[in-house]
Amino acid sequence: MKTLSFVLTCFLALSAATAQVLPEGTPAQTNVPEMKYPCVDASSRATFKLHAPQAQDVKVDICGQKWQMTKNADGVWSVTTDPLVVGFHYYFLIVDGVAVNDPASETFFGCGKMASGIEIPESPEAAAYYTYNQSVAHGQVRECHYYSSVEQKERRCFVYTPADYDTNVSQRYPVLYLQHGMGEDERGWSQQGKMANILDNQIAAGKCVPMIVVMDYGNCGYIHGTRPGESREEFGASFTPILLNDIIPYIDRTFRTLTDRDHRAMAGLSWGGHQTFQTTLANLDKFAYIGAFSGAIFLPPQADMRQVYNGVFANADAFNGKVHALFLGMGSEENMGSKGLSEKLTAIGIRNTYYESPGTHHEWLTWRRCLNEFLPLIFKPAE
């Protein structure tokens, strides 16, 4: 209770303190209403402030990099960072050794917990594909609850429906099942990932076909190792039977879907990419499009690609006849092995598309860009 009171006191004091202060830049778009800090300047430097007169030490931790804050005579701690990489970043305030969320920021589920978040903006031109565009028609992201026969409990998913879903009532739509990564949950793609804006803008421009997108919890919302004794193979593995036995049937009976494999895709980021490979490659009778964005694909360096995943790649012609698009993407500054995997698959005749996001790491801007590249490849009529 003492910690909660301390944070609330800081929040109220900061509200009053910033009311008379001009920000060093523009308030971050991820701030709660009327909060001027954190703010971001034209050089992508972020300024953070916290009114905590009784604190002895305060830092900002942005994705593991810590910035020491200094206190003025009014008890306001502040720091301006060096230029930060554009895109979305989780961060925490470390107050006397305790990591807390910034009361001036919206919170997002990431790192296995609720975390503060800050968006370092790209140029308007670079960000246009995931930016809300008032001139195009917009779909909806619906929160849905259903009962899982596998888990014997209620579950939640978020479902994007395209702009014409409620007016073009005779139309049926293909479905993309889109998964988050380790330490995140079913909210990630619609909040951090800006997926609805990406879909709206692409559909309006004719770059991708109208589709339904399903975002469900991949049973990997904690950091591996949190659950004692759980192996890497077991981590998140319970999601596949839930997807096949509960989620897909629920979506098909609730929404106007096209239910054959040629109109069903699956993609995921990081551990969601791992789950995508584990699920789709064992069930090609149900999926025709596959995407892994910074996918956690663990294969021994000397593995024979014709033998992995129970030999699914052994016959290139058969695989290429079933899988209409296999997409592998990652950031240029990370090392998830996607490029090497693409090259090995190409060498044995497996058609695939490799994309490298320039200048980005294992982060949401990489995955926004990957989704943007993946969407035009799926549900296209056969040529």
CATH of the domain at 238: 3.40.50.1820
Q: Name the domain boundary from 86, 121, 156.
A: 121
Q: Based on the domain organization, do 153 and 191 belong to the same domain?
A: yes
Q: Name the domain boundary from 121, 138, 166.
A: 121
Q: Based on the domain organization, do 361 and 293 belong to the same domain?
A: yes
What is the Cα–Cα distance from 157 to 313, expressed in whole angstroms?
A: 32
Q: What is the pLDDT of residue 2?
A: 41
Cβ 271 vs Cβ 218: under 8 Å: yes
Whether residue 19 is contained in a domain is answered as yes
Q: Based on the domain organization, do 247 and 362 belong to the same domain?
A: yes
**Confidence band (pLDDT; 50, 70, 90) for 190?**
very high
Q: Based on the domain organization, do 198 and 344 belong to the same domain?
A: yes
Q: Based on the domain organization, do 140 and 264 belong to the same domain?
A: yes
**Confidence band (pLDDT; 50, 70, 90) for 23?**
low
Q: Based on the domain organization, do 146 and 116 belong to the same domain?
A: no
What is the Cα–Cα distance from 316 to 300, expressed in whole angstroms?
A: 21
Look at the chain and report how many structural domains it folds into: 2
Whether residue 49 is contained in a domain is answered as yes
Q: Based on the domain organization, do 217 and 102 belong to the same domain?
A: no
Let me know if 53 is exposed, middle or buried by CB neighbors in 10 A (0-12, 13-18, 19+): middle
Whether residue 353 is contained in a domain is answered as yes
What is the Cα–Cα distance from 215 to 182, expressed in whole angstroms?
A: 14
Q: Based on the domain organization, do 114 and 252 belong to the same domain?
A: no
Whether residue 254 is contained in a domain is answered as yes
Q: Based on the domain organization, do 43 and 171 belong to the same domain?
A: no
Q: Name the domain boundary from 96, 121, 146.
A: 121
Q: Based on the domain organization, do 102 and 175 belong to the same domain?
A: no
- For the entire predicted model, the pTM comes to 0.92
Q: What is the CATH number of the domain that holds 95?
A: 2.60.40.10
What's the mean per-residue pLDDT of the chain?
93
Q: In this prediction, what percent of the chain has a pLDDT beyond 90? A: 90
Q: Based on the domain organization, do 158 and 27 belong to the same domain?
A: no
Whether residue 383 is contained in a domain is answered as no
Q: Based on the domain organization, do 211 and 333 belong to the same domain?
A: yes
Whether residue 297 is contained in a domain is answered as yes
Whether residue 237 is contained in a domain is answered as yes
Of the listed ranges 174-178, 241-245, 336-340, the least confidently predicted one is 336-340
pLDDT in tens, 299-334: 988 899 999 999 999 999 999 999 999 999 999 999
The residue range of the domain holding 257 is 127-377
